[in-house]
Amino acid sequence: MIHKAMQNRWARLVIGVLGTFINAVGVNYFIVPMGLYSGGILGVSQLLRSLIAQDVTLPGGLDLAGVLYLALNLPLILLAWKALGRVFVIRTLICTLSSSFFYSVLTAPATPILEERLACCLVGGIIGGFGLGLTLTCGCSSGGLDIPGLWLAKRGSHFTVGRFSITFNAVLYLICAILFDVPTALYSVIFNVFSMFMVDRAHQQGINVQVFIFTRNENSELPQQIMRGLNRGVTYWEGMGAYTGKPIRIMCVAVSKFEEEDLRRVVLGQDPHAFFIVHEGVRIEGNFIRKLS
């Protein structure tokens, strides 16, 4: 059901906005009450809020970090416009606006929901990271370090979105340790690690999959249908089933995990008895298109 919804661009956008809400819940309800800091542009916004909050008061009790988050994202959205395409930028702008809105209106509770800092890091990281990963899987971005991370991934860098964010945040948390205290920085790091791990797991377009397909269907159009439907190359050879003694066609396709279901649908539409072997998380180099939507 979710996969079918992903095929509709408006449904993807709605789910992407939902992801920004989930992320804001994880951050503002579990991390902010503990005096900890998120990573990336939001972390910078929270840091600036801590330094200037005493001089700035927003009406309605809005969180200043949400407003700063939007302002700091504008140059990155310009980068996305030039490097990642108009459709991605429009989705990013919508999700960045929704993120800024949720960060501003979902004010942190005065009393932490959980008493233990480590528990807050774990729960907040899982919830927030899942929300960000869901947004990315929908071909959207909530702004921040997602944009340069996706830009590097598209250019064939070994950096995933999560790895790039962790590298950037090392500097941010060093500043937190200097300005505040080491425990605050360390627990913020723990939260960020949990969060980025969930981003990489939830962001299915960033997980490479190698699929071997075994079929007795001799229809020569099947490889062409895969290439037309998924815009992925296919390598195939003729084999022989040792048990049946009958000829069999073996096809090898490299796709993202997000495309795996589409590949399965195309193949099973021609041969309901096709056999699949799936290798997840493989490393792919060379002429492999990294898609954003």
The span from the first CA to the last CA of the chain, in angstroms, equals 18
Average pLDDT over residues 216-227: 78
Predicted local distance difference test score (pLDDT) of residue 177:
92
Whether residue 147 sits in one domain with residue 47? yes
CA distance 147 to 84: 9
Predicted local distance difference test score (pLDDT) of residue 203:
62
Looking at per-residue confidence, does 173 or 280 come out higher?
A: 173
Residue 244 within any structural domain of the chain: yes
Residue pair 248/240 in contact (Cβ under 8 Å)? The answer is: yes
Whether residue 102 sits in one domain with residue 186? yes
Two structure tokens written together for 263: 């590949």
State which of 163, 184, 205 marks the end of a domain: 205
Average pLDDT over residues 231-240: 86
Indicate whether 82 pLDDT > 80.
no
Residue 288 within any structural domain of the chain: no
Indicate whether 56 pLDDT > 70.
no
- Can you name the residues that pair with 77 across neighbouring β-strands? none
Predicted local distance difference test score (pLDDT) of residue 141:
74
Whether residue 168 sits in one domain with residue 46? yes
Predicted local distance difference test score (pLDDT) of residue 159:
60
Two structure tokens written together for 276: 């699949």
Whether residue 68 sits in one domain with residue 18? yes
Q: Residue 7: which residues within 8 A CB-CB, separation 6 or more? A: none
Whether residue 242 sits in one domain with residue 128? no
Predicted local distance difference test score (pLDDT) of residue 111:
87
Indicate whether 20 pLDDT > 90.
yes
Q: Structural domain tally of the chain? A: 2
Residue 211 within any structural domain of the chain: yes
Residue 177 within any structural domain of the chain: yes
Average pLDDT over residues 197-224: 76
Q: What is the DSSP secondary structure assignment for residue 216, as one 8-state letter? A: -
Express as a percent the part of the chain with pLDDT over 90.
23
Whether residue 244 sits in one domain with residue 181? no
Q: What is the span of the domain harbouring residue 17?
A: 2-205
Residue 291 within any structural domain of the chain: no
State which of 205, 231, 252 marks the end of a domain: 205
Please tell me the total number of residues recorded for the chain in this structure: 293
**pLDDT tens per residue across span 2-18:** 555 555 667 878 888 99
CA distances from 282 to 10, 30, 139, 183, 278 (A): 31, 34, 21, 37, 10
CA distance 242 to 159: 42
CATH number for the domain spanning 272: value is: 3.30.70.260
| Average pLDDT along the chain | 81
State which of 205, 227, 242 marks the end of a domain: 205
Two structure tokens written together for 189: 């790091």
